[in-house]
Amino acid sequence: MSVLIFAELDEGALKKSSLEAIYYGSKVAELTGSSATAIVLGEGNADELAKAGRFGATKVLHASDPKLNEGNAMAYASVVAEAAHQEGADIIVLAKSSLGDSMAARLAGKLKAGLAANVIELPDLSNGFRVKRSIFTGKAFAFTALTADTKILAIKKNTLTPEETDAVATVEAFKPTLNEADFAVKVTNVEKATGDILLPEADLVVSAGRGLKGPENWGIVEDLAKALHAATACSKPVSDLDWRPHHEHVGQTGIKISPNLYIACGISGAIQHLAGVNSSKVIVVINKDSDAPFFKSADYGIVGDVFDVLPRLTKAVKEL
């Protein structure tokens, strides 16, 4: 019995969400009296991979074949399934992401496993194996019992705050059998979002809507984001108007985020937008309309003109 954690790479580095998954997996291993092993696919630096030990993994299996660099969900599912058999893993943990969702479903079929997504707490083992999940875009919770011999847990971002240690994991080469049928779909081009801080991994996010009145005014949003070392985001109407790139759109039909702090500037707070951001730990709303629906979901609210509030807020942050 052991816990296997699938960890994603971004340009050779372990993603922050995957480090959280490794920490979660190590805690599950403690609960079950087993060990935590991470598996990483694609080319990466051994010293970087050894960082998994700081978050609780005792060992890292590294399948470094260049064919695994592109995030092929079919191939990834086959490789992780092979690793699970090798390690005797009956619990598999991964971060919930676009790649993780696609891969986990295929993996569940291969292993005949029970799959729980959007897991937000460590499992309750007092009577079987039960997990708490976020459902209905964060409006409710479900308690799900997994009865299959093998269990797959897709962890929502910010489920646990990792505690980093000085430990180093052992990195072992893993050479899986690659099935050519898994590479029937070829990745011909990958376009990644650009920016100092990528939105899906950001702890702090500054977002704005049509209250900014036009793309020429976005400088005050970017100034605050830079002062906070935060990512920038926008509402759907803003991306539809091409004021901002579509990869910054957060909401039900855009990117769903779970930062520690989400600052919404000039956004009314339509239900579709809330569905993508209501997992944020703290929400701050800035809007001159005191009746804006977003205030009902905010932890803190400022009734005021964003063109007055944002420069003053940025100045205060810089002074601190």
- Residues contributing to the annotated binding site: 210, 266-273, 287
Whole-Å CA distances, 66 to 44, 69, 308: 10, 5, 51
Beta carbons within 10 angstroms of residue 188's beta carbon: 6
Q: How far is CA 90 from the centre of its chain?
A: 23
43 contacts 66 by C-beta, under 8 angstroms: yes
* Residues 6 or more apart in contact with residue 266 via CB below 8 angstroms: 208, 209, 210, 211, 212, 286, 287, 306
Q: What is the distance between the alpha carbons of residues 226 and 94, in angstroms, rounded to a whole number?
A: 30
Residue 101: other Cβ atoms inside 10 A? 15
CA–CA dist 103, 50 (Å, integer): 24
Cα 52 to Cα 13, 55, 100, 103, distances in angstroms: 11, 5, 18, 21
Mark the binding-site residues for FAD, compressed into ranges. 210, 266-273, 287
CA 20, chain centre distance (Å): 9
Which has the closest alpha carbon to 280: 253, 298, 294, 303?
Answer: 298
